[in-house]
Chain A
Amino acid sequence: MLRVVNLGAEVEGTPILDHVNLYIKEGQTYVLFGPNGNGKTSLLMTLIGNPAFKVTYGRIMFKGQDINDMSTDQRVKMGMGISFQNPPKVSGLKLIDMLLNCAKQSGTDPNKIYEYAQMLNMEKFLNRSINVGFSGGEVKRSEVLQLLTLNPDLVLFDEPDSGVDLDNISVIGSAMGELLDRKKNKEERKKSGLIITHQGHILDYVDADYGLILYKGMIACMGDPYDMLDEISKKGYEGCVEKCLKGFQNSRRM
C-alpha cells in the first residue's frame, strides 16, 4: 500500500525528516509514537502532500506509484485520507457541503452521510460552518465523519484522541475500526492506517499491528504497539530509543 524509501523532508529550509523508511502493507495499521516536535505530524503532512513540506530526497510510493509530484487532491483521489489534529475553521462552508464532496470523490451514496453522522452524533452540525465553534471532541468527530464518507484505502490519523473525553474516544475509536477494517478477519482487511497518538488511549478501541517511534526525524524503533506503549510509559521515549539502538556503535542518533 505505502512504501516510504529513505525519505528526507524540510519545512521552510529546516530539515524535519531524516532517512525515513516505512512499509505498510494492505490491511495493516501502524501506530506512530514520539515526543512532540520530533516529526510525527511532519511525516503525515509530507505523505499527504502539504505544499509547505518539501521532499529533499527519497521516495514515497503509494499503490506502486511514485506520488512525489502529485498534489494533495490527486493523492486523495488515489485513495489517501487524513484526519487533522487542528483543522482550520472555514466560515460559510458547511460540514454537509464538505461531506457531499467527499461522497462524490468516493462514490459513497449521499444517504449514507446521515447514517454516518448519526453514528458519530454529528447530525446537528451538518448545516454549520465547518469547525466554527466546534469543541475539541466535535472537531475530531467531524474529521472521522469526513473520512468515513471519503472512504480512503490508506488513512492517516493525527492524534484522533487528544483533547477528547472517554465517551468521544469510544465513538471515534469504533468509527476508526470501521475505516481500517479492524472489525474484519485479518485476511479480509483491505484498508491500511497510520495513527499518531500520544497517550495511546485510542489503542483501547482500535487495535494496531505495529508501533513505531519517530525520534528526531528518524524512525528509531519498531515493534509490538502495546509493548511499546508499556515501555514508553515506564522508561520514557529516551529510554526506549536508547534500548532500541543499543549496539549501534556508529549511530548518529545518540
Chain B
Amino acid sequence: MPERIPKLEKDVKEKLEKVGIEMDKEKRSAIFLQVDQNVETSSSFASGIEMIGIKQALEKYDWLHDYFWKVVSKNNDEYTKQVDVAEVNGYFIRALPGIKVNFPVEACLYLKSPKKQKVHNIIIAEESSELNIISGCASHPGLTTGMHLGISEFYIKKNAKLSFTMIHNWENNIEVRPRSAAIVEEGGTYISNYIIMNPVKIVQMYPTVHLNGDNSTAIMSSVIVAMENSIVDTGSRVIIKGKGSSAEILSRAISKGGTIYSRGDIVGESPDARGHLECMGMMLSEQGSIIAIPELEAKHPNVDLSHEAAIGKIAEEEIFYLMSRGFTRDEATAAIVRGFLDIEIKGLPPTLKKKIDEAINLVEKELI
C-alpha cells in the first residue's frame, strides 16, 4: 500500500481542490485517494485514526466482515448488486475510542477512465470519539462517460460524533449512484453535508440514518445547484428508534435549468422523537424544475415532526432593498443567492465551513 503523497497532474490537482481535497498532511489528519479502482494513497498522520484501503482492512480485521453489507443491503437494488464484486475498492476510516482530532480526515474518489467506479467504504467512530471527514468525489476533466457507484456504511458508536462533508464535482456525462446508510448509537451525533453545484448527468441517492440509540442526533444538510441537463435526485431519510432522539433535514436547491428532486423522510417510532424537515428551492431559469417531496411518518403518539417547503424565484422586494444600499441589480442577485445557499450548519469545524464557502464562490459567477 503506497503511503507517500502522490505527485498529481496539474488538472487533477485543480479538480481535487474544487472538492475540498488538498492532500496536505499539515492540514489533514489522514488522507486517502482512489483513482478508478486503484488506491493511490492512504495514510494517517494522527494516532488513533485509522485510514486504510477496504481490501487491506478486511484482511486485517476479521470482525470487519460483520460491518460489511450490514446497514446497506447487498440486494437493495441493481446498483448495490453491481458493487458486490471482487474488484471493489474503497476506504476504511476508524476513530478509536475517545479520540478527537482537530484536523479533518480527507478522502477522495476520482474517476479517470470511462468505466464504472465501484466503491465500498466503511466509517466507524468508536465510543466517545470525534471524527470530521471531508470527502471529495470528482471526475477527470473532459471525461465523456462514466459511472460512480459507491456504498458507504457509517457506524457512530455511543456518544461519538461524526461529521461527513461530501462535495461532488462531475462532468456532463457522468452517472452517480451512491448508496449510504448510518447507524447511530446512544448519545451519538451524525452530521452529513452534501454539496453539488456543477453539471452532472444524474445523481441519485437517498441515504438512510437509523437513530437506534436513545438521545441520538442526525443533521442532514444539502446544497444543490442543478445546471441545464443535470438531474439531481437526492434526499435523506432518518428513522428515529431511540427515545428522545432528533433529526433535522435541511436542503437548499437552485435550478439553473436542471431538474432537482429534493426528498426527505423522517420516521418517528419512539417516545419524544423530534424531527424537522426543511426544503427551500429557488428557480433561476425558466427551464428546469424543482420537485420537493417531504414525508413524515409517526409511529408513536409522543412524537413531534414538522416540515416546511417553499419554492420560488428571487423576491423582487429583496433585490430592491439591496439596491437601495448601492448594490447593482447583479450584485444584489448574487448576494441573495449566496445568502440562500448559506445553510447554518451546527457543529461543523471552521475549516470545513470555509470549504463549503469556497465551493459556493466558485459557481457564483455561473449562476447569475
- Which residues of A does B touch, CB under 8 Å? 48, 50-52, 71-73, 76-77, 81-82, 84, 87-88, 90-94, 97-98, 101-102, 104-105, 129, 146, 150
B326–A150 CB distance below 8 A: yes
B320–A51 CB distance below 8 A: yes
Does chain A have a CB within 8 A of B14? no
Taking CB as reference atom, which chain B residue is nearest A147?
A: B325
For the complex, would chain B's binding face be called helix, strand, loop or mixed by DSSP majority?
helix
Could you name 23 residue pairs across A and B whose Cβ atoms are closer than 8 Å? Answer: A51-B320, A72-B320, A73-B324, A73-B326, A73-B328, A76-B326, A84-B324, A87-B321, A88-B318, A88-B321, A90-B321, A91-B339, A92-B340, A92-B341, A93-B322, A93-B335, A93-B336, A93-B338, A93-B339, A101-B327, A101-B331, A101-B335, A102-B326
Taking CB as reference atom, which chain B residue is nearest A91?
A: B339
Does chain A have a CB within 8 A of B299? no
**B side interface size, CB within 8 A:** 23
Q: CB-CB < 8 A to A72: which residues of B?
A: 320, 323-324
**What's the nearest-Cβ distance from chain A to residue B43, in Å?**
37
Q: CB-CB < 8 A to A104: which residues of B?
A: 326
Taking CB as reference atom, which chain B residue is nearest A73?
A: B323
A146–B325 CB distance below 8 A: yes
With A88-B315, A90-B336 as given contacts, are A76 and B321 in contact (CB-CB < 8 Å)?
Answer: no
**What's the nearest-Cβ distance from chain A to residue B7, in Å?**
39
Cα A73 to Cα B331 with chains together (Å): 10
**What's the nearest-Cβ distance from chain B to residue A80, in Å?**
9
Cα A84 to Cα B320 with chains together (Å): 11
Does chain A have a CB within 8 A of B317? yes
Those of B318-365 within 8 Å (CB) of chain A: 318, 320-329, 331-332, 335-336, 338-342
**What's the nearest-Cβ distance from chain B to residue A220, in Å?**
28
A71–B329 CB distance below 8 A: yes
Taking CB as reference atom, which chain B residue is nearest A80?
A: B324
B325 touches which of A92, A94, A101 (Cβ 8 Å): A101
Q: CB-CB < 8 A to B316: which residues of A?
A: 51-52
B322–A77 CB distance below 8 A: no
Q: CB-CB < 8 A to B341: which residues of A?
A: 92
**What's the nearest-Cβ distance from chain A to residue B353, in Å?**
13
Among B322, B325, B336, B340, the one with the most A-chain Cβ atoms within 10 Å of its Cβ is B325
Cα A93 to Cα B338 with chains together (Å): 8
Taking CB as reference atom, which chain B residue is nearest A94?
A: B339
